[in-house]
Amino acid sequence: MGSASPGLTALPHSRLTRPDAALLPPLRDPNTRSWGCPESPSPPATPEQPLPAFCLHYFDMLYSEDITWATKGMGEPSQSGAQGGRGEPQKEPEQCPIIDSQGFGLGAEGDLQASLHLEEHSLEQVQSMVLGEVLKDIETACKLLNIAADPADWSPSNVQKWILWTEHQYRLPQIGKSFQELSGKDLCAMSEEQFCQRSPACGDILHAHLDIWKSATWMKEKIAPGDVRYCGGDASWADNKVDSSCAGQPIHLSPSWWALRVAGGAVTPLSSSSLPGIFKIEDSAQVARLWGIRKNRPAMNYDKLSRSIRQYYKKGIIRKPDISQRLVYQFVHPV
DNA sequence: TAGAAGGAGACCT
DNA sequence: AGGTCTCCTTCTA
């Protein structure tokens, strides 16, 4: 527990090595951005170059439930898809002895390449659909609050509206007063540290949400409307999507939630076409922390999370793989 | 020592 | 009532 996360070190994006990377969502190329968050180096994100995988991580924070629709209809488990799209083929024999060294799943090289290609394709689909859903959600919020989508255009009262809405949506403590008389431009120019100074309790979370809005605005400008496809879908097994209008409904552990954690590097998918839905928790403390944020349970730890996971055994949602390993679980019905 | 497993009770919707 | 959290004990690697 509490150890460094080996899964993070294998990722191409250096910022993910930061322990608090989960709450720092940069989406912009540092050469092109104008928001004034100098401490957040960002990889480029263009229509040609899909949204960085780890950005999914932050988009997840916009929802009170996961994104069944995002992986609906895909041939491969979303866990695999998320991993495959990090930009580099994963070579992790030390992380996946079950599969790689014991002859499961990825056998011939052709199969491996086909699998990787499929995973990359799946990730692109997930990314574009997540982005579409984020933009849709923001659009709804804008209409509801009667504010501009671009935070830079917000007046101080718009800022207050947005903060109130965010507090309500994500059950944050009341922090609006800490940001009084700040315009959207002021807010955009503030670093995460400055957010935390004004609101030690959840300044980081608020900063992350603002970054999502800023990023969405930027992506909207960059991506032609037809490029983002929203894929609505019905609920499936334990992975029913619940949007903001359904707040208060149970939040379940689900393959898509784990898939998004994959994007953050806290979980490594070990699945293949023959062993779908298997994932390894690389950093149990980090996953527990993220789950705690997700469930608004600051006291969450891996012991409690694992107890929850074991509850899913009974429901036939999660099980231990045939060859049991520590921190390795398998979704019985991966999306 | 961390993780796995499961019992039991509390809390919330 | 069901889902989840929390605390606990016991066992294992």
Task: Give DSSP secondary structure letters for A292-304.
Answer: HHHTT-TT--HHH
List chain A residues with pLDDT less than 70. 1-137, 168-171, 215-216, 218-277, 294, 333-335
Cβ proximity of A250 and A257 under 8 Å? no
One-letter amino acid identity for A282?
E
Amino acid whose CA is nearest the C1' of C5: A304
* C-alpha count within 13 angstroms, C-beta hemisphere, residue A15: 18
Angle (nearest 5°) at CA A319 between A127 and A280? 50
Chain C: positions less than 7 Å from a protein CB are 3-8
Same domain as A123, residue A216: yes
- Domain assignment of residue A198, given as a range: 119-222
pLDDT at A151: 87
Q: Does some domain include residue A46? A: no
Q: Does some domain include residue A138? A: yes
One-letter amino acid identity for A136?
K
Same domain as A182, residue A132: yes
The answer to whether some atom of strand B lies closer than 7 Å to the beta carbon of A299 is no
Look at chain A and report how many structural domains it folds into: 2
Q: Does some domain include residue A201? A: yes
Same domain as A210, residue A123: yes
Phi first, then psi: what are they for A160, rounded to 5°? Answer: -65, -40
pLDDT at A269: 63
The answer to whether some atom of strand B lies closer than 7 Å to the beta carbon of A317 is no
Same domain as A216, residue A123: yes
Can you give the distance from the CA of residue A129 to the C1' of nucleotide C7 in angstroms? 41
Can you give the distance from the CA of residue A250 to the C1' of nucleotide C2 in angstroms? 10
Find the nucleotide nearest A310 (Cα to C1′). Answer: B5
Can you give the distance from the CA of residue A209 to the C1' of nucleotide C5 in angstroms? 26
Instruction: Pull the structure tokens for residue A140.
Output: 């709804």
Amino acid whose CA is nearest the C1' of B7: A307
CA separation, residue A9 to residues A41, A219, A265, A268 (Å): 17, 28, 9, 12
Query: Strand C footprint at Cβ < 7 Å?
Result: A 250-253, 291, 295, 297, 299-300, 303-305, 307-308, 311-312, 315
Same domain as A297, residue A206: no
Q: How far apart (Å, rounded) are the C-alpha atoms in residues A207 and A25?
A: 9
pLDDT at A117: 52
The answer to whether some atom of strand B lies closer than 7 Å to the beta carbon of A307 is yes
pLDDT at A308: 83
Contacts of A183 (CB under 8 A, 6+ apart): A154, A155, A156, A159
Domain end residue (candidates: A197, A222, A247)? A222
Q: How far apart (Å, rounded) are the C-alpha atoms in residues A5 and A17?
A: 8
pLDDT one-digit tens code per residue, A30-76: 333 333 333 333 333 333 333 333 333 333 333 333 333 333 333 33
Burial A300-334 (b: 16+ CB within 10 A, else e): bbbeebbeebeebeeeebbbebeeeeeebbbbbeb
Same domain as A215, residue A260: no
Same domain as A273, residue A180: no
CATH number of the CATH domain containing A277: 1.10.10.10
CATH number of the CATH domain containing A189: 1.10.150.50
